[in-house]
Structure 1
Amino acid sequence: MKHIFTVITVLIGFCSFSQTQKGIVIDGYGNAVENAFIINPATESHSHTDDSGAFTIEKTNVGDVLRITALGFKIKSYKVSSEENKIVLEDGVLKLNDVVIQHKVSAMNLISKIDLQTSPVNTSQEILQKVPGLFIGQHAGGGKGEQMFLRGFDIDHGTDVAISVDGMPVNLVSHAHGQGYADLHFVIPETVDKIDYGKGTYYANKGDFATAGYVGFQTKEKLDNSSISVEAGQFNMKRTVGLFNLLDNAKNQRAYIATEYFLTDGPFESPQNFNRLNLLGKYTYLLGLNSKFSISASHFSSKWDASGQIPQRLVDNGTLSRFGAVDDTEGGNTSRTNIIASLNKPIDKNTFVKINTFFSKYALELYSNFTFFLKDPVNGDQIRQKENRTLYGMSAEINKKIKNDGWDINYQVGIGFRVDATKDSELSHTLNRKTTLENIKLGDIDENNNYGYLNSEFIFGKLMINPGLRFDYFKFNYQDKLSATYTNQSKDEIKVSPKLNFIYSQNNNLQFFVKSGMGFHSNDARVVVQDNTKKTLPTAIGTDVGTIWKPSHNLIINSALWYMYLQQEFVYSGDGGIMETSGRTKRMGADFGIRYHLNEILYIYSDANYTFARSMDVVKGQDYIPLAPDFTTTGGISFQNWHQFSGGIRYRYLKSRPANEDNSIVAEGYFVTDMNLNYNFKNLTFGVAIQNLFNTQWNETQFATESRLKDESNPVDEIHFTPGTPFNLKAKITYRF
């Protein structure tokens, strides 16, 4: 009888510890808190919240006390109830101590919140610089989309990195200037809440252009307070930003509007006369527990003049200063109006859906002159690139969790479409921005992309196996308006992109990963319909092997070795309206990053990236990939909450790299340091920022270009560059209310 009683007692104890509890974690405004870490100290059972804030924890009974930590929130103890467990967290300070390494393919995304808080951004360019290893350069007066570099790619303006804002794609296909053109200047930096990024081709929900990686920006749903900022600096720079909370006390609603106006002449001898206006309004309504609807509308317009790229020979012989111009009639204007709506809604405790729709009207008129008098020795080589575009689309995703004995399944099934309708996409030879000398290209482009994907996560204790599959269908149409007869050329193409990732988490402080997958970038519709020998959707194949390690509560180290094969680089030159032959490439490299909270005040961070990049279809010595970065590093040290002071100093280094295929022309590297200092006094913040603290002489963008000046008989092939900003002091006052 005694033995029977013992067995029954053990069985009861086993059953009691085998219970599973479910719940949801939200903030004080009712928003889901994703990536929260929940642990039962009594049983050491733990769990994480998903995108909807939901979690399931095993070996937990009613009455047990859970410990919840989440980045940016105070630690909370919660006693499990018999009913649905709704856990509300209070806002806290972002610190590495709260970071828990999770079963995710992009586990380092959590760090972006700390990077944003410790070193705030106030320009569109600085937003992109928050992505480790991503470098940018501006070479057209500030109004043109930035040139980007990542993992040995000269991405131009977006060919091999997919960029989105609140689920709306930023990259523009078959653009008048370049394939995948991404202009982020419509984003007000102060409204950015989170940066989601990933390198490589490993993400089933990312399609076109996601080869070197992707970057997704999420804007805020609420403001902690309203504010007005006024900023002024050298080179006649002025900037005002207004953030206005519209629903202070509404329980289930929040709304705000934001505006930015920016002016500068830049350091150039010919003033840029740059101006930019941004407007944003966003409204969110909580439909119920972890269910919400959000809609935003924004408008952006910009106008500028530019000095353009200048040849090194004129600076060397003293004809021009670094900030002079050969042709200062460059410049342009652009605008973009967006409407974005999203719905997050749970179906049951294990299932929720996400739906996103967007509509955008875009226009660009861009004047450039890269070769001066090479093609037209009388009138010069100025070109105009112009387009008017309508962009719209939708995406829907269902997320499902399935619990099993000893293993779990999470999966996402998504579908969507995107339509780009471009009217009068133009490339013309012009004079002084007024006279059209010749239409080189003129036509209407219609491009459709329908897609679907399945992403699954099989979790066996410490191991997660993540297979995924993506299906894309493209339809390309081009109506050539310069043809003597009506022609509407078309082509369609299907792309299947498998993914397979392995994530092994030894514990909450150590993770190993092996990632692999196929991706692609689309080619310009004008190339696709005219030449079937060119790859429509060239394949990229990549793999990563690495680790994320948290050896102490305030230190995180990430590292990876990677390889990427690309079937074909982009082949359409928007500046020349011609197809350029390009073949296979390979890239391999290493990434290393470190983040360290020295104490509650000081934060140190650094990222280093090495790449070996070569073309595969040419002889050795002629196989360099022009402008492919070899070695880059960024980092800095920042401090917060020190006697009402905050600030920091940060650096970026780009090593010299080949500018042409045989490395006979070299693009010079640079090391630039910036700093900022802020002081809080009641509702006021006084700030000072310095770009290029040590007044380094550096070139922001560089190209090996063949050009001819008006008095030259023969062309010269050499470096043409846009100078980087010299020492630039700015002051800022912010009033919060």
Structure 2
Amino acid sequence: MKGKRIFKKQGLLMQVFLLCVWPMFCQTSFSGKIMDDMGKPISEAYVVNKTRKIFCYSNVSGKFKLEDTKIGDSLEVGALGYKKELILVTNKTLNTDFLIVMSEDTYQLKEVIVRPTLNILNEVVDVDLAMTPVKSSQEILRKVPGLFIGQHAGGGKAEQMFLRGFDLDHGTDISINVDGMPVNMVSHAHGQGYADLHFLIPESIKSVDFGKGPYYAEKGNFNTAGYVDFETKTILNKNVAEIQLGSFGLKRGLGMFNVLNTSNDKAYIASEIITSEGYFESPQDFERINLFGKYNHLFSSSSRLTIAANHFQSTWNASGQIPERAVASGLIGRFGSIDDTEGGTTSRTSINLGFSKAFENDIALKLAAFTSNYQFQLFSNFTFFLNDPVNGDQIKQEENRFVSGLNLNLSKTIYLEDKSLTVTTGTGLRNDRIKDNELSRTLNRNTTLQNIQLGNVSERNAYAFLSGKFKWNRWLVNLGLRLDRFTFEYSDFLQNSPTNEKTGDVLFTPKFNMAYTPNNRIQFYLKSGVGFHSNDTRTILQNTDQKLPKSYGADIGIIWKPIEGLLFNAALWTLHSDQEFVYVGDEGIVEPNGKSARYGVDLGLRSQINEHVFLYADVTYSHARSLEAEEGMDYIPLAPGFTLSGGLQLSKMKNFSGGLTYRYLGNRPANEDFSITANGYFVTDMSLNYAVNNNISLIFGIENMFNAKWKEAQFVTNSRLAGEERSVEEIHFTPGTPFSVRTGLRYVF
């Protein structure tokens, strides 16, 4: 009996010993949640077990699970734009949900890790943005590789955009959003998908999310060539006051100030005022004011409420697009005008509400609601005296719009050993009510000679989508399906008795994407999907077959990071459209031009030589053709073929920072048979900042430093000048910015 009691005691001691030391020898898992200091989950953060050379990534809820981890292992946690965290695994950290709070830090290319995800290049663009901050809202879109823009109405009108062989006009084939709020305007007075980003203060941008092609289930209308989403800052690290003076009467004032900064509540306000006379012979009298405020509240349950509001208004005069023959003959100078009464006014007041919550069972909820009141009035003269030899051909486009909408996304992640499945479902509604959508012939902005179109537009888009991302080892497979329903309604005031016409359509668009990432240096991916862009309501009611034409695209590409400070990307792509739309401004219609096909290649290179020197370059080639035109007449006017952009940036090199940027747009066909060429250009800009101390910086910049004579916008137009017996069809252009200088003073505190 005594021996048995001794044996039992020894057995009990052995059990206690094993319970104490077993975790030291038994492989287990390390799991937890990664958040920023405002309680927002950080997705795609990496957790590396440096002892065992294994790693994992956080999901949309900020949660992660790292298998085969033992006590004593050394872990590294990192995410782009955040300070690294080093963790030593202890008994307390294993098999419990460990909370990791990360603080913001400078963006570095070395923090970009190639991993099984579909948006690695977004992080690369965030590095670009951090290294080369934009100096104007016009430059924001240039951060997207291969995206070119051009202004042709005095600085107040939305820019013309080019991407992947598309002349996007002002947004017809690209979806643009800010903090979940759509920027594109459907059935706009000046052009379908009109996207004016001038309300966005450049210094308020935190990150840029973009994707090329129609491959994303959460993106709907206008997502054919791609999408661009901007996220504004949640909190200001420091207050900023800045003033700039420049050539041609440029004056810019900026103020960004924290007004609330507690552990659970953050709020700041920002304002921007710009005035300029412009570089044209006729003064531009450009004025713009932006007001922006954002409030964030963190609840104790790891949920977050965001409220943002902005007001923007702008007025300007414009010299318009001038014919080449007028300059060649000496009738006007390069910066002269035929009709200097062009120009306009616009304003936008918006309120945007966002709510997000991360639940304990790997469920994440995102809600966004927005409302906006928008005013627009534009005066243009494209043809001068072609239609009215006495009064001229000036037209007015005007509208008063109210937009409201709601987006709801819900995601759930399921873990199965070394596999994970993230299912995201979403639904939303957008409602546009446009009062007095007008196109009229006018004289000197004051007299209405004839109403061409006048009426109220009502357009609604309800949608739902389902997307699943399955990760297994080094593979990622993404399947998506989107459903959109549109309702179009138009009340025409110019009929003998006012009419109220209504129609609608429903569209399903599938998506399939996959990526193979054999290691953290290289990724191969395939993207495919169907997208669409809606047509103008007024045109749809004239031709109901052209409501929601589809586009079909595919990408095959590679992302390669051979060393820590070098990243290369390449993609072959193709995109077919069921309908090519051309906006005819002076007739107020969107003209269908039939099916089209495009294919091309995108190349990109990023190199961070050290923490001070950063190089980048993007090259694109596109081949665009109409499929329903005769051979030799199948060129798509203004479709870009070859583009090149890049730069050299210096960051915090002693007291200096700045760099050189360049962009090249090759010659393009200006008409269907390429008998007229839209000439390309090469433009170089320079910026230089000098930090006097920790609070004060001097700013200096040069636009078009080699004073290239370039044409920012070009169109083939049939016009007639005063005194001409016949009209002439030729290039009409807006000259690009000549050599100009800006200086400034920035104070941070």
Q: TM-score, normalised by structure 1?
A: 0.96
Q: Is the 8 A contact 1:34 1:49 kept in 2?
A: yes
What pairs up with 1:231-270 in 2 under 5 angstroms? 231-248=244-261, 250-270=262-282
Size of the aligned set, in residue pairs, is 726
Partner of 1:553 in structure 2? 564
SS at match of 1:313: helix
Q: Is the 8 A contact 1:523 1:571 kept in 2?
A: no
Match of 1:23 among 12, 17, 32: 32
Task: State the alpha-carbon separation in 2 of the partners of residues 13 and 466 from structure 1.
Answer: 39
What pairs up with 1:125-204 in 2 under 5 angstroms? 125-204=138-217
1:553 positional shift = 0.4
Deviation string for 1:358-389 (max 9, x for gaps)?
A: 00000101000000000111110000000000
Tell me: CA distance 1:585–1:575, structure 2 relative to 1, closer, same or farther (3 Å): same
Percent of paired sites with the same residue: 48
What pairs up with 1:367-446 in 2 under 5 angstroms? 367-446=379-458
SS at match of 2:257: strand
Q: Is the 8 A contact 2:412 2:424 kept in 1?
A: yes
Determine if the alignment matches structure 1 residue 219 to structure 2 residue 232: yes
SS at match of 1:230: strand
What pairs up with 1:565-576 in 2 under 5 angstroms? 565-570=576-581, 572-576=583-587
Task: State the alpha-carbon separation in 2 of the partners of residues 383 and 62 from structure 1.
Answer: 75
SS at match of 1:628: coil
Match of 1:359 among 349, 368, 371: 371
Partner of 1:99 in structure 2? 112
Bigger mean CA offset, 290-299 vs 22-31: 22-31
Task: State the alpha-carbon separation in 2 of the partners of residues 490 and 574 from structure 1.
Answer: 23
Match of 1:518 among 507, 510, 530: 530
Task: State the alpha-carbon separation in 2 of the partners of residues 185 and 215 from structure 1.
Answer: 15
Tell me: CA distance 1:671–1:13, structure 2 relative to 1, closer, same or farther (3 Å): farther
Tell me: CA distance 1:276–1:17, structure 2 relative to 1, closer, same or farther (3 Å): farther
What pairs up with 1:467-616 in 2 under 5 angstroms? 467-532=479-544, 534-570=545-581, 572-616=583-627
What pairs up with 1:100-119 in 2 under 5 angstroms? 100-119=113-132
Aligned letter for 1:354?
A: K
SS at match of 2:375: strand
Determine if the alignment matches structure 1 residue 207 to structure 2 residue 220: yes
SS at match of 2:744: strand
Q: Is the 8 A contact 1:188 1:278 kept in 2?
A: yes
Partner of 1:624 in structure 2? 635
Determine if the alignment matches structure 1 residue 276 to structure 2 residue 295: no
Q: Is the 8 A contact 1:527 1:572 kept in 2?
A: no
Task: State the alpha-carbon separation in 2 of the partners of residues 290 and 514 from structure 1.
Answer: 36
Tell me: CA distance 1:546–1:610, structure 2 relative to 1, closer, same or farther (3 Å): same
Task: State the alpha-carbon separation in 2 of the partners of residues 581 and 73 from structure 1.
Answer: 48
Deviation string for 1:380-414 (max 9, x for gaps)?
A: 00000000000010000011101113422111100
Aligned letter for 2:604?
A: G
Aligned letter for 1:68?
A: V
Q: Is the 8 A contact 2:154 2:316 kept in 1?
A: yes
Task: State the alpha-carbon separation in 1 of the partners of residues 367 and 65 from structure 2.
Answer: 24
Task: State the alpha-carbon separation in 2 of the partners of residues 338 and 637 from structure 1.
Answer: 37
Tell me: CA distance 1:18–1:585, structure 2 relative to 1, closer, same or farther (3 Å): farther
Q: Is the 8 A contact 2:50 2:73 kept in 1?
A: no
What pairs up with 1:722-733 in 2 under 5 angstroms? 722-733=734-745
1:15 positional shift = 11
Aligned structure 1 segments of 4 or more residues deviating by more than 6 angstroms: 12-16
1:148 positional shift = 0.2
Deviation string for 1:647-675 (max 9, x for gaps)?
A: 00010000010000000111000000000
Tell me: CA distance 1:13–1:652, structure 2 relative to 1, closer, same or farther (3 Å): farther
What pairs up with 1:658-677 in 2 under 5 angstroms? 658-677=669-688
Determine if the alignment matches structure 1 residue 655 to structure 2 residue 683: no
Match of 1:47 among 56, 63, 86: 56
1:579 positional shift = 4.8
Q: Is the 8 A contact 1:497 1:518 kept in 2?
A: yes
Q: Is the 8 A contact 2:350 2:371 kept in 1?
A: yes
Partner of 2:297 in structure 1? 285
Bigger mean CA offset, 101-110 vs 570-579: 570-579
Task: State the alpha-carbon separation in 2 of the partners of residues 106 and 149 from structure 1.
Answer: 21
Task: State the alpha-carbon separation in 2 of the partners of residues 36 and 599 from structure 1.
Answer: 23
Partner of 2:702 in structure 1? 690
Q: Is the 8 A contact 1:524 1:572 kept in 2?
A: no
What pairs up with 1:703-722 in 2 under 5 angstroms? 703-722=715-734
Deviation string for 1:62-92 (max 9, x for gaps)?
A: 5543211222233221134144211123433
Task: State the alpha-carbon separation in 2 of the partners of residues 18 and 242 from structure 1.
Answer: 54
SS at match of 1:580: strand
Task: State the alpha-carbon separation in 1 of the partners of residues 247 and 106 from structure 2.
Answer: 34
Bigger mean CA offset, 348-357 vs 180-189: 348-357
Task: State the alpha-carbon separation in 1 of the partners of residues 134 and 506 from structure 2.
Answer: 40
Partner of 2:7 in structure 1? none
Q: Is the 8 A contact 2:456 2:492 kept in 1?
A: yes
Deviation string for 1:443-480 (max 9, x for gaps)?
A: 10000000000110111211111110000000000010
SS at match of 2:110: helix
Partner of 2:653 in structure 1? 642
Q: Is the 8 A contact 2:536 2:590 kept in 1?
A: no
Aligned letter for 1:646?
A: S
Determine if the alignment matches structure 1 residue 460 to structure 2 residue 472: yes
Aligned letter for 1:498?
A: P
Aligned letter for 2:609?
A: L
Bigger mean CA offset, 281-290 vs 27-36: 27-36
Deviation string for 1:228-276 (max 9, x for gaps)?
A: 100000100000000001123x111100000000000110000000000
SS at match of 1:97: helix
SS at match of 1:58: strand
SS at match of 2:127: helix
Match of 1:350 among 362, 366, 390: 362
Bigger mean CA offset, 302-311 vs 36-45: 36-45
1:289 positional shift = 5.6
SS at match of 1:458: strand
Aligned letter for 1:721?
A: F
Q: Is the 8 A contact 1:202 1:499 kept in 2?
A: yes
Determine if the alignment matches structure 1 residue 65 to structure 2 residue 78: no
SS at match of 1:24: strand
Deviation string for 1:408-451 (max 9, x for gaps)?
A: 21111000010000000000000000000000000100000000
Partner of 1:701 in structure 2? 713
Aligned letter for 1:111?
A: V
SS at match of 2:299: strand
Task: State the alpha-carbon separation in 2 of the partners of residues 360 and 490 from structure 1.
Answer: 24
Aligned letter for 1:485?
A: S
Consecutive unaligned residues of structure 2, counting only runs of 5 or more, are: 1-13
